[in-house]
Amino acid sequence: MSQIHEECGVVGIFAPSKQDVASTVYYALYALQHRGQESAGIVVNNDGVFTAYKDEGLVNDVFDHDRLRRLGEGNMAIGHVRYSTTGGGGRENAQPIVVNHLKGNMALAHNGNLVNSYELRSELEGGGGIFHTTSDTEVISYIITKQRLGASSIEEAVLSSMDKLQGAYSLVVMSPSKLIAVRDPHGFRPLCYGQRDDGAYIVASESCALDSIGARHIREVEPGEMLVFTKDGVHSDRSHCGGEKKLCVFEFLYIARPDSVIEGHSVHEARRMAGKFLAEQYKIDADIVVGVPDSGIDAAYGYAQASGIPYGIGFIKNKYIGRTFIAPSQEAREDKVRIKLNVLGAAIKGKRVVLVDDSIVRGTTCGRIVKLLRDAGATEVHMLSSAPPFLNPCYYGTDIDSKENLIACHHTVDEIAKIIGADSLGYLDVNKVAYLNGGDGSGYCTACFDGKYPTPTPAKSKKSCFERWERPISENPKYKGMEE
């Protein structure tokens, strides 16, 4: 895909006294590194003075001991990890965003994607707004700032801004005296909070981040809810609650860490259930079940349990390279596959293999993995995907912007099996995907599989927006004759 959009992780801390909040956010971001590997950033609040640093790279590359020390102590901080590709990369798009306005400072970090970003940005530009990034986050910060200038408090400004925002947004917002966590009315992206024994409150995209810093998980931020953390405690505003819950089901299938709990459901158990459903759908005569590290392993284990075929370790993963799914370019993705996985030949040679992966998007990665198994001596390779076929773009923050490179949009299942070199191929039934947590099948967004979008879809693609905002003005027909 030529344009891959962000899927990020956010963290916030409100402590009862000044302390090394930067290190706390650092460790929490480290636990969320799987959600974004392109850039990282932290902003510390010390009595209303904001100290920020952000850059491209992994968390431990961006922040060393000296950099954390220079951020200083404070009683609040927010942090962010991000990924994107050529359309929205670069240090300028790293988060959090810091705004200095007439009524003080504000810092903001965002996970998600707005569906009306183009319209909002065009309206703001028409009123004289000047943008320095191509991210939705700057649009959100601009709107909150405008609302704040006429509002009596930051929380009032955030609430009024929610009336203008459409799509997915899980936010942490920091003012000189308050930390705010807010989730869009559909709850597309996860957001939870907890508390440490020292009284500090922590907000994070996933519960694994709370675990990493010794915080007790309290609950999820409800869809449409705003939580305000102050020295007087936690205040909840639910004036935007009550909409149809639509958590992205791909959080359970791929994005989230298996040790996280989202809305009371174990990610590990959801993936194991996907494997069980696959075993009910596909009766395969095989010798071993193998999962593709990391997010395919739990589903493979579930398939093995339900089918009675032994589960085995088929791949050794290089732990020092990140996810191919979020690599910035096709060439980079393919390079990573070559060094990311090595087959455990003794377990595979002469075996009929059931290979389980979390999804098939472009088909290039799984084709290479099938070849690895063939080269190691597998006599048969039967590929199973614990996700249904991707048939539609996602407008809410996941890495699927168009149908152009979705292999299932252009080929039948049998054709795809042949393309990737597998003896057979099976996908999880789309009617099963919303039941991964043993519930009634409601409350999840499955639009990338079935095309049932919970919101209006964007009038313009993100790609066309990037083209407008990033082309030299001399190449933009809208501004012809205005070069000077």
**Residues 120-146: pLDDT tens digits?**
999 999 888 889 888 899 999 999 999
**Is pTM beyond 0.85 here?**
yes
C-alpha to C-alpha distance for 65 and 50, rounded to whole angstroms: 19
Q: What pLDDT score does 336 carry?
A: 61
Q: Judge contact between 76 and 10, C-beta under 8 A.
A: no
Q: What pLDDT score does 129 carry?
A: 85
| H or E segment and range at residue 138 | helix 136-149
Q: What pLDDT score does 390 carry?
A: 95
Q: What pLDDT score does 118 carry?
A: 92
Q: Judge contact between 473 and 479, C-beta under 8 A.
A: yes
Give 417's pLDDT tier (boundaries 50, 70, 90).
Answer: very high
Q: What pLDDT score does 437 carry?
A: 87
| The pairing of beta strand 288-291 with beta strand 352-357 | parallel
Give 284's pLDDT tier (boundaries 50, 70, 90).
Answer: very high
Q: What is the mean pLDDT of residues 314-335?
A: 64
Residues in the chain, overall count: 484
Q: What pLDDT score does 461 carry?
A: 58
C-alpha to C-alpha distance for 279 and 286, rounded to whole angstroms: 12
Domains of the chain listed by start with CATH number: 9-246 (3.60.20.10), 265-449 (3.40.50.2020)
Q: What pLDDT score does 462 carry?
A: 56
CA dihedral 82, 210, 207, 268 (to 10 degrees): 100
Query: Annotated catalytic sites, by residue?
Result: 8
**In this predicted model, what pLDDT tens digit does every residue of 346-385 receive, in sequence order?**
999 999 999 999 999 888 889 999 999 999 999 999 999 9
The DSSP string of 189-250 is S--EEEE-TTS-EEEESSHHHHHHTTPEEEEEPPTT-EEEEETTEEEEE-TT--S---EETH
Residue with token string 């994607």: 113
CA nearest neighbour of 265 among 242, 285, 245: 245
Q: What is the mean pLDDT of residues 171-187?
A: 98
pLDDT at 196 over 70: yes
Q: What is the mean pLDDT of residues 57-63?
A: 95
Q: What pLDDT score does 134 carry?
A: 85
Percent of the chain scoring above 90 in pLDDT: 78
